[in-house]
Structure 1
Amino acid sequence: MATDVVVPTLGESITEATLGQWLKKPGDPVQADEPVASLETDKVAVEVPSPVAGTMGEQVVAEGDTVEVGALIARIEEGAGAPAKAAAETAGAVNPAGPGETPMPKEDEAAPHAEEAGEAGPLTLSPAVRRVVLEHGLDPSKIKGTGKDGRLTKDDVLAAAKAEKAEAAAPAPAPQQQARPAATGERREERVRMTRLRQTIAKRLKEAQDTAALLTTFNDVDMTAVMEARSRYKDLFEKKHGIRLGFMGFFVKAACLALKDIPSVNASIEGDEIVYRDYVDVSIAVSAPNGLVVPVLRDAQALSFAAIEKTIADFGKRAKDGTLTLEDMKGGTFTISNGGVFGSLLSTPIINPPQSAVLGMHRIEERPVVVDGQIVARPMMYLALSYDHRLIDGREAVTFLVRMKEALEDPTRLLIDL
C-alpha cells in the first residue's frame, strides 16, 4: 500500500511552486517527517516531508516542474526497502534512460556508496548544501561534515571544492610529448533557467518602477562616533550578550528614531488611503544563494541593540543555509539594504512594494572634510533614501536622512530619544 506525498500549504497568496530537487531516490528508505523534496517558491525553498516511514516509491513529477498546492508529487511505499528492480522501474518512469545513457545502479552496485555515507544510510542534505554539491560536482559521501550530528554544511562543501581545485592546479609531471595547445578565441554560451525566486525578484522590481514615483535623495555621515563607541564597548558587549556589536544595530535604532519623526516614510498606499503605523517592522536585505531575500525584524522600535544584532546574525546564517521561512519574510514596513559589505560606494536602491521607502548603506571610506575650518580625514559613509514620491515629499525625505545623520554622528541621541 502506498501513501501519497502532496505539495503542502505554502503560505498566504502562494498557490504554486517549482520542484527544485528530489532529496530521495526511488528505493531509498524514508523516515516519517524526513524531507523528500525541495520546492522553490516565490520567496524561499521549502522542504516537503514524508507523511509516513517507508520506501521512496514513484516520483510523479520531475525536477523543474511547476506544481500546485495539494498536487500529488510522489508515493511512499510500505516497508524498509524496495527491490532494486522495482526501484529501477520507478526511476525509469520519471527519468527514462535513453540510448547511450547510464542506467540506474542496482542494489548491490549502490551498496558501497551507502556504506561510505555511514551507518545511517544515504546522506540527507539541505537544499543549499545540495545545490553547492551539484554546482561543484562533488561526492558528498567523501566530505567530512562539521555540522550537528556530522551533517554537511555549505562551508564544508566549499572547502572541499577549494581543496580539489588546488590539487588540480598542482603542477603535473612533464609529458613525454608536448601537449596540444588550447584553442584561442573560443566563444561559449550557457543557458540556465531562472529560479522562481529570481523571476519573482525581477517581477517585483519592475512592478515597483512601473507603479511608484521613485526618487532618491542622498546624505553623508561621519562615522567617527559610531566607530569609537563600537571599538570601546565591543568586547564588553560580546562578553555580556554573546554576539558581536556591529553597525546594523546603530542604523536600525537611528532609522526607528527618524521614522518616529517622519511617519510617512514608514507608511504605505492602499487604494486611495494612506496607512500610517506606530510600529516599525524593518526588512533587512540579506544575500542568499539564489538572490536577495528580506527577512523582517519585527517591532524594531522596541528591541535592544543585542536583540537586533542577534536576530540579524540569525537571518544571515539561515539565508546562507536556505532555511528561512515564509513567515520570516512576511510583512515589513521599511527596508535597510547594506551594499557596503560588498564594497559599494553609492547606489539608488529600489523600494520593496508595498513599502514606500528603502535606506541604502554603503562602504565607510576616509575622505577629506572640513571641521571647524580645518581639512581633516574622516570615515564617511553615503546614505541613500529611495522613496515613493506619491506619498513622501522631498522635504520629508531630506529631513529623514538629516535625523539619521544627527543620530549616527551623536549616538547619545539614541539613548535619550532626541
Structure 2
Amino acid sequence: MATDVQLPALGESITEGTLAQWLKKPGEAVAADEPIASIETDKVSVEVPSPVAGTLSETLVNEGDTVAVGAVIARIGEGGAAAAATPAQSAANATTNPAGPSETPQLRGSEHAPEPAAGDQDNATRLSPAVRRAVLENQVDPTSIKGSGKDGRLTKEDVLAAAQSRSAPAPQAAPVPAPQAAVAPSAPGERKEERVKMTRLRLTIANRLKEAQNTAALLTTFNDVDMSAVIDARARYKDLFEKKHGIRLGFMGFFVKAAALAARDVPAVNARIDGDEIVYHDYLDVSVAVSAPKGLVVPVIRNADSMNFAEIEKSIAGYGKKAKDGTLTAEDMKGGTFTISNGGVFGSLLSTPIINPPQSAVLGMHRIEERPVVRDGQVVVRPMMYLALSYDHRLVDGREAVTFLVRIKEAIEDPTRLLIDL
C-alpha cells in the first residue's frame, strides 16, 4: 500500500512553496526521514523527508511547480522494485535524453558530450537544470567532478571550475534551432542571452528591498573606526578563547556587543514604526546578514544584548554553517530588531546598506584597510574600517544616527567600554 508524501508546514505565514528539485526518482529506494525533494519558499529552502521506508513509486508534481502546504507531492510504495516513471518524471528525463522529443537547446550538448557511466546514472539525473546545462555547454564529465553542494551534489560553480582547469578549451556545442528555447543557439563569436526564472527567495528579496525604498525615508551616515585595539585583543586572546570555548573569536562579536551598548543610548535605532505608533524594544535581536548559495539571508541572534562573546560567535558560526548547507528554517529568520551586514568579507570598502523592514536601521561593516591618519599631530598608519548606518529618517533623527555610530566607534576603539558598560 502506497503512503502519501505531503508538503509539510513550512513556517508561520508560509502557505506554499516551489518544488526546486527532486532528490530521488521513481523506482529508487528511500529510507524513513530521507530527503526526497527540495522545496523553495519565500524565505528558505527546505527538504521534504520520506515518512516511511520503501520505494518512491511516483512523483505528482514537476520541478518548478508551486505546491500548497498539505498537498500530496509523491507516493512511497513498499519494497524496492523499480516503478514506472510518472508523466512528470518522464518529461524531466526527456530533457536529459539527446534523442528525446522534448529536448531543449540549453540541455543539449554536441554529439561528443560525455555520457555518465551506467553506475553513475543516479548522480546524473540528480543534477539541477542549471548544472546539466553547464555540463553540456562545457563538455565535462560530471562523474569526474567532486561536488561541493549538500550531500556531495554538483553545483554550477563546480562544473565551471572543472572546465577552467582543463588545459585545452572545450569545443563549442553544436547549435540546435529551437524557437522556444530559453537560450538561443549562437555561432562562435555571436552574442547570446539567457533567461532564468527568478527563484522565490530572490524574488522576495527584490520585493522587500524595493518595499523598503518605497516606504522608508532612507538616509545613510558614515564614520570610520580604528581597528587596532580589536585586532590586538584578538591576537592576544584568540588561542585561549578557542581553547576554552571551541570557537574562533571574530570581529562580529565586538560589533554586536557595541551595537547593544549603543542601542541603550539611542533606543530609536532598535525600534520600529507600526501604523501611527513607535514600538520600542528592551531587547536586541540582531539580524546578521549571511551569504547563502541562493541569496542573502538574515538569521536572527536573539537577546544578543544579554549574550557573551562566546555565545554570539557560536550563534554566528552555527547560522553560517546552516546557510551554506541550506538548512536554515523560517524560525531562524523570524523577527529581528536591528541588522548588521558585513560587506568587508567580500572586499567592500564602502556601501549604503538598505534596512530590513520593519526595522529602522542597519549597520554596514566594511573591509579593514591600512590608511594614514593623524594621531597626536603625527601622521601614522592604522587599520581603518568605514562604518555606515542606514536608517529610517521618519523615526531616527540625524543627531541620533550620528550618536549611535559614535558610540560604536568609541566601543571598538576602546573595547574596555564593552566590559564596564560605558
- Whether TM-score is above 0.5 comes out as yes
The residue number in structure 1 matching 2:28 is 28
The residue number in structure 1 matching 2:100 is 101
Deviation per CA, 1:315-346, whole angstroms, max 9, x where unpaired?
22221121111111111110000011111111
Asked if the contact 1:132–1:154 (Cα under 8 Å) also holds between the matched residues in 2, the reply is no
CA–CA distance in structure 2, aligned partners of residues 381 and 33 of structure 1: 47
CA–CA distance in structure 2, aligned partners of residues 343 and 165 of structure 1: 24
Q: CA RMSD in A?
A: 3.3
CA–CA distance in structure 1, aligned partners of residues 276 and 250 of structure 2: 40
Change in Cα spacing, 1:206 to 1:159, as seen in structure 2 (3 Å) is closer
Q: Return the letter of the residue paired with 2:233.
A: A
Q: Does 1:223 align with 2:227?
A: yes
The residue number in structure 2 matching 1:40 is 40
The structural deviation recorded for 1:70 is 1.2
SS in 2 for 1:308: helix
Q: What are the within-5 Å matches in structure 2 for residues 11-410 of structure 1? A: 11-83=11-83, 86-87=84-85, 91-92=89-90, 100-101=99-100, 113-114=118-119, 134=132, 136-137=134-135, 142=144, 151-152=151-152, 162-163=161-162, 165-169=164-168, 185-410=189-414
SS in 2 for 1:279: coil
SS in 2 for 1:87: coil
Change in Cα spacing, 1:262 to 1:88, as seen in structure 2 (3 Å) is closer
Equivalences, count: 392
The structural deviation recorded for 1:140 is 6.4
Asked if the contact 2:30–2:55 (Cα under 8 Å) also holds between the matched residues in 1, the reply is yes
The structural deviation recorded for 1:134 is 4.6
CA–CA distance in structure 2, aligned partners of residues 357 and 186 of structure 1: 46
Change in Cα spacing, 1:134 to 1:296, as seen in structure 2 (3 Å) is farther
CA–CA distance in structure 1, aligned partners of residues 20 and 7 of structure 2: 13
CA–CA distance in structure 1, aligned partners of residues 67 and 219 of structure 2: 39
The structural deviation recorded for 1:270 is 1.3
Change in Cα spacing, 1:89 to 1:370, as seen in structure 2 (3 Å) is closer
Structure 1: tracts of 5 or more residues without a match: 104-109, 173-181
CA–CA distance in structure 2, aligned partners of residues 17 and 224 of structure 1: 47
Of the structure 1 ranges 189-198 and 236-245, higher mean CA displacement relative to structure 2 is found in: 236-245
Change in Cα spacing, 1:218 to 1:413, as seen in structure 2 (3 Å) is same
CA–CA distance in structure 1, aligned partners of residues 310 and 226 of structure 2: 23
The structural deviation recorded for 1:378 is 1.5
The structural deviation recorded for 1:147 is 10
Tell me the percent identity.
70
SS in 1 for 2:152: coil
Structure 2: tracts of 5 or more residues without a match: 103-114, 172-185
Deviation per CA, 1:131-179, whole angstroms, max 9, x where unpaired?
885575376665568999xx52779x9668635532354899xxxxxxx
CA–CA distance in structure 1, aligned partners of residues 234 and 98 of structure 2: 64
CA–CA distance in structure 2, aligned partners of residues 27 and 223 of structure 1: 58
The residue number in structure 2 matching 1:176 is none
Change in Cα spacing, 1:89 to 1:357, as seen in structure 2 (3 Å) is closer
The structural deviation recorded for 1:92 is 2.9
The structural deviation recorded for 1:94 is 6.9
TM-score of the aligned structures, taking structure 1 as reference length: 0.84
The residue number in structure 2 matching 1:178 is none
The structural deviation recorded for 1:368 is 1.8
Of the structure 1 ranges 309-318 and 160-169, higher mean CA displacement relative to structure 2 is found in: 160-169
Asked if the contact 1:113–1:141 (Cα under 8 Å) also holds between the matched residues in 2, the reply is no
Deviation per CA, 1:168-193, whole angstroms, max 9, x where unpaired?
54899xxxxxxxxx977521101111
TM-score of the aligned structures, taking structure 2 as reference length: 0.84
Deviation per CA, 1:187-231, whole angstroms, max 9, x where unpaired?
110111100000000000011111111111111111111111111
The structural deviation recorded for 1:113 is 3.9
Change in Cα spacing, 1:136 to 1:318, as seen in structure 2 (3 Å) is farther
CA–CA distance in structure 1, aligned partners of residues 94 and 131 of structure 2: 24
Change in Cα spacing, 1:81 to 1:390, as seen in structure 2 (3 Å) is same
The structural deviation recorded for 1:380 is 1.2
